[in-house]
């Protein structure tokens, strides 16, 4: 009985002391800077939560790939990247998260709470390290002061580590069929899917062009109605 109580106490102690790292990105698509960030989080923590954001977005210029495809590629890319490291994959959990607000809103505390409580719910900790390569002021602007005290922010510069590597540059390289660039900066899973990814990027661009065309048509209609109103206000 005494031995069992000691084991329970030890188990609780381990749970309390568990260090968790969190990495959030849209992964459109995943590239080597993402994997490098996850690897750094693993070095400093017991477990890492990878959050694929904008799960509700696809078919536009910034988010051409749907969430099912992104999650599949991320999962396989992480498995391949850490294949020679025993039990590392077991320390990584991957979840998806929908957007709570527009990307232009850098002071959305509800978005920060959504992130925070998803971490708490999935990892069982109230304090964690948050790994990011974006502007510190922008990221901290998501969280209330009370939550900021519980989060250890770990910021890295993409300019210093990967010459400003971004998913936008990867998508441009895929679109321009720059195989050499994609192979240099992306995991094999992305390289192998380049034809499919290129097709989805082109489809998304066509969607944007179609939207702009429709908006221009509405603008023409609006301008015409406005001019007619000015000339003959009594008719409206």
Q: Domains of the chain: which residue ranges?
A: 18-202
Q: pLDDT band for 61, please (50, 70, 90 cuts).
A: confident
Q: Are 42 and 92 in contact (CB under 8 A)?
A: yes
Cα–Cα distance measured from residue 149 to residue 193, given in angstroms and rounded to the nearest whole number:
42
Tell me whether the omega of the peptide bond preceding residue 229 falls within 30 degrees of 0, making it cis.
no
- Determine how β-strand 151-155 pairs with β-strand 128-132: parallel
What contacts 153, CB < 8 A, 6 or more positions away? 129, 130, 132, 136, 139, 140
The CATH number of domain 18-202 is 3.40.630.10: no
Mean pLDDT across the stretch 2-25? 67
Residue with tokens 């989080």: 41
Taking 90 as the threshold, does the pLDDT of residue 163 lie above it? Answer: no
User: Average pLDDT, whole number, for the chain?
Assistant: 85
Confidence of residue 222 (pLDDT cuts 50, 70, 90): very low
Of the listed ranges 7-11, 101-105, 119-123, 162-166, the one predicted with least confidence? 7-11
Task: Note the pTM of the prediction, 2 decimals.
Answer: 0.81
Tokens of 2: 């005494």
* Residue spans of beta strands (DSSP E) within the chain: 20-25, 47-52, 92-96, 128-132, 151-155
Whether 47 and 123 have beta carbons less than 8 Å apart is answered as yes
Nearest Cα to Cα of residue 167 among 134, 137, 135: 134
Q: Half-sphere exposure (CA, 13 Å, Cβ side) for 49?
A: 26
């Amino acid at each position: 009985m005494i031995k069992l109580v000691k084991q329970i106490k030890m188990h609780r102690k381990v749970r309390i002391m568990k260090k968790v790292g969190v990495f959030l990105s849209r992964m459109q698509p995943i590239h080597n800077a993402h994997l490098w960030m996850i690897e750094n989080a693993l070095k400093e923590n017991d477990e890492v939560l990878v959050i694929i954001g904008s799960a509700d977005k696809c078919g536009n210029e910034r988010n051409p790939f749907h969430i099912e495809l992104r999650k599949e590629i991320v999962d396989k890319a992480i498995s391949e990247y850490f294949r020679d490291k025993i039990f590392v994959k077991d320390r990584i959990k991957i979840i998806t998260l929908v957007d709570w607000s527009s990307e232009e809103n850098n002071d959305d505390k509800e978005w920060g709470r959504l992130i925070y409580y998803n971490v708490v719910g999935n990892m069982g900790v109230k304090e964690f390290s948050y790994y990011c390569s974006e502007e510190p002021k922008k990221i901290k602007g998501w969280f209330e002061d009370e939550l900021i005290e519980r989060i250890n922010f770990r910021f890295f510069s993409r300019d210093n580590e990967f010459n400003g590597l971004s998913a936008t540059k990867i998508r441009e390289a895929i679109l321009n069929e720059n195989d050499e660039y994609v192979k240099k900066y992306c995991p094999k899973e992305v390289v192998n899917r380049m034809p499919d990814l290129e097709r989805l990027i082109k489809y998304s661009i066509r969607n944007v062009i179609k939207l702009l065309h429709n908006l221009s048509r509405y603008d023409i209609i609006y301008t015409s109605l406005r001019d007619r109103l000015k000339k003959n206000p009594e008719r409206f």
